[in-house]
Structure 1
Amino acid sequence: MTFSKSESCDNICKEIHESLGDINFLIQDLASLSQTECRKIRETYMEIYGEDLVQILGNTAMANQESSRTCAALSTLMLNPHERDAVVAREALVEPINYKALIEIFTCRKSSHVLLILQAYQARFRRQLNQDIAKIEPPNPYQKIMMALSASHKAHSTDISQHIAKCDARRLHQTGEGKSGAIDEAVVIEIFSKRSIAQLKLTFFTYNHIYGHTYTSFLKNEDFGEFEDAVRMVAKFICNPAKQYAKTLYRCLKSTTTDKGSLVRVMVSRAEVDMDEIHRIFKKKYGVELKSAIYESVPAGNHRDFLVALTIKASPS
């Protein structure tokens, strides 16, 4: 839905208010909104009714569990992107730790956005995200990398340097496949903590150019341990996030992942970022449109209607 001259924001808010028990209407009215429209609707609803639409949707009692889940998903749709990521981060830190969701936040968001996430996390939960990650027990390789990437978002140059990329690529090679045994964790952590995501992406591209294969292919070694596996996963997201998101969606639709919230999380967060590219990769890799895959894998009902509405919203032109 886009705002037309004949339908004011006030009228839309009135329709939503009168239809809070009608999940089908809410899906039709909200799922197609852009982030800017969501923000305007939320602000106007607060002005008219004195209530936060996010909380209203999240707490609305529905007739069944599926409708309640869909209504909760609609509430996340109304959040600002950095608020939504702060909520995702908090949920990811509940056992079992969802490192995949944290990787998405720290590798696929601009540094300015990550700083807003950190602020929103503190404002909403009265806690520091960095400290919560640091307190994870037992210590985990993903934890070390997340802390390094968090530092990189707060203190790095916005300029991208080919010279630095070549130096870092050579360091990764010399302390990795250029010697026997596991990779040097200290070197990887140092590079991750001092370089922007864009700079790291250039480093991995340069590694491929210099040595004729990707850094992640070198890390695909069954003799390696958890740290190498973690670095490989993070590097994949840095190099080609759309491809990893396509894989995540496919695995969730095929029920081969334990990250059950990933389907909604990815489709909502990437709708106005790179969903067109995700669509193309999904079809090329799996031979089916994402919308068709949802129809095939998700039972008929409100939740499927919501997911399909998101694909229409974000479908390639």
Structure 2
Amino acid sequence: MGYLHYHPPQVPHTMASKYPSSLNSSDREKDCKEIHDSWGRLNQLGHGLAHRSRSQLQQVRETYKAMYGEDLVDCIQRAKGVDSKNEICMVLSLWLCEPHERDAIVAKDAMAQGDTKYRALVEIYVGRKSSQLLLMQQAYRARFKKHLDQEISILEPPTSTQKMLVALATSHRAHHVDVNQHVAKCDAKRLYESGEGRAGSASIYESTVLEILSKRSIQQLKLTFSTYKRIYGHDYTKSLKKGTSGEFEDSLRAIVKCMYTPAKYYAKMLHSGIKGTTMDKSALGRIIVSRAEVDMKEIQDVYQKKYGMKLYDAICESIPEGDYRDFLLALITRLPSSSSTS
């Protein structure tokens, strides 16, 4: 893997990525030996792993367990003993996990932290296909012996975000229909009439939103929000700012932005994480790990346009030099894999 001191490469984004689908046995064993000998040199370990494809990472993890009798993720988790290693070990272990396994771990952490990290759950329920969410829930149940949907539904005290997550979970279990323009138009009209064109009460508005979230697929909801903009001339989230913004509106705004304009949502979350203005201290690493194989190029473009600085430079400027920063830089400069999925 070549664990030399990391100097982030300036790779043009137009270059195609060429990750072999698999490693031969000698390469896998060599990688694992270098990993086993790299404890204490997390910079070198992280750089090598950052530039492996998803299939290669899985092969390395399986080979490491066969050679040394331990799961590589568990080994990295145990290395978190020193405070300065907490962040790098967290992102390294998440990167090695399969996406559904990673989501399960992130979801459990979000449940433990409470409302400060509710957006991690929003990102999972909004950003995954129903098949992916099912795999995550199975991984959650296998690892933690609990049902995530049930844990969310009994949270105390109940919050607006909790209600919306329960609705989205219901939608993922129930919907099996294609997107429909007529349904989108009707839903957009209902949202308008119960919201900014409100004739009813706040409770009617909330019940309308929750009903639509629980009955429509993510793709159908995206069509509804684009239809809303076409009919009423502005994004649906603009309407949430026109009146007095409360907890329900704040939660709904985050869900809609993550669903409808994900690159903008993640760029803003990364900026807050870099500047330290979010209560969710793990947001920066979590988002870079989860989006590195999905839409990191688009997020970086939005970030530069919105904040007038490259994401790479913002991380260098604000995050202390060390293993954690180097690994984040390695992930955002990696070439996209052709097998990446959202």
Q: Fold-level match, TM-score > 0.5?
A: yes
Query: Which residue number corresponds to residue 295 of structure 1?
Result: 316
Query: Which residue number corresponds to residue 90 of structure 1?
Result: 108
Structure 1 residues 294 and 314 mapped into 2: Cα distance closer, same or farther (>3 Å)? farther
Q: Alignment partner for residue 41 of structure 1, among 57, 60, 63?
A: 60
The CA deviation at 1:305 is 1.0
TM-score relative to the length of structure 1 = 0.94
CA distance in 2, matches of 1:274, 1:30: 19
Larger deviation, residues 106-115 vs 89-98: 89-98
Q: What amino acid maps onto 1:9 in structure 2?
A: R
Query: Which residue number corresponds to residue 223 of structure 1?
Result: 244
Query: Which residue number corresponds to residue 67 of structure 1?
Result: 85
TM-score relative to the length of structure 2 = 0.87
The CA deviation at 1:203 is 0.2
Contact 1:31/1:309, CA 8 A, preserved across alignment = yes
Contact 1:153/1:196, CA 8 A, preserved across alignment = yes
Query: Which residue number corresponds to residue 10 of structure 2?
Result: none
Q: What amino acid maps onto 1:82 in structure 2?
A: H
State the SS of the aligned residue for 2:52.
coil
Structure 1 residues 61 and 198 mapped into 2: Cα distance closer, same or farther (>3 Å)? closer
1:286 aligns with 2:339: no
Gaps of 5+ in 2: 2-18, 338-342
CA distance in 1, matches of 2:129, 2:41: 37
State the SS of the aligned residue for 1:273.
coil
CA distance in 2, matches of 1:107, 1:302: 31
Query: Which residue number corresponds to residue 144 of structure 1?
Result: 163
1:258 aligns with 2:279: yes
| Higher RCO (CA 8 Å, separation ≥ 6 residues) | 2
1:55 aligns with 2:55: no
State the SS of the aligned residue for 2:334.
helix
Q: Alignment partner for residue 157 of structure 1, among 172, 176, 184?
A: 176
1:76 aligns with 2:76: no
Larger deviation, residues 144-153 vs 214-223: 214-223
Q: Alignment partner for residue 201 of structure 1, among 222, 225, 230?
A: 222
State the SS of the aligned residue for 1:309.
helix
Q: Show CA shifts across 1:74-112 (max 9, x none).
A: 111111111111111111012432211111011111111
Query: Which residue number corresponds to residue 255 of structure 2?
Result: 234
Contact 1:66/1:302, CA 8 A, preserved across alignment = no
Structure 1 residues 6 and 119 mapped into 2: Cα distance closer, same or farther (>3 Å)? closer
The CA deviation at 1:315 is 7.5
The CA deviation at 1:167 is 1.2
Q: Show CA shifts across 1:110-137 (max 9, x none).
A: 1111111111111110000011101111
The CA deviation at 1:5 is 7.0
**Residues 95-134 of structure 1 mapped to structure 2, 5 A cutoff:** 95-97=113-115, 98-134=117-153
Query: Which residue number corresponds to residue 8 of structure 2?
Result: none
What is the aligned-residue identity percentage? 49
1:31 aligns with 2:50: yes
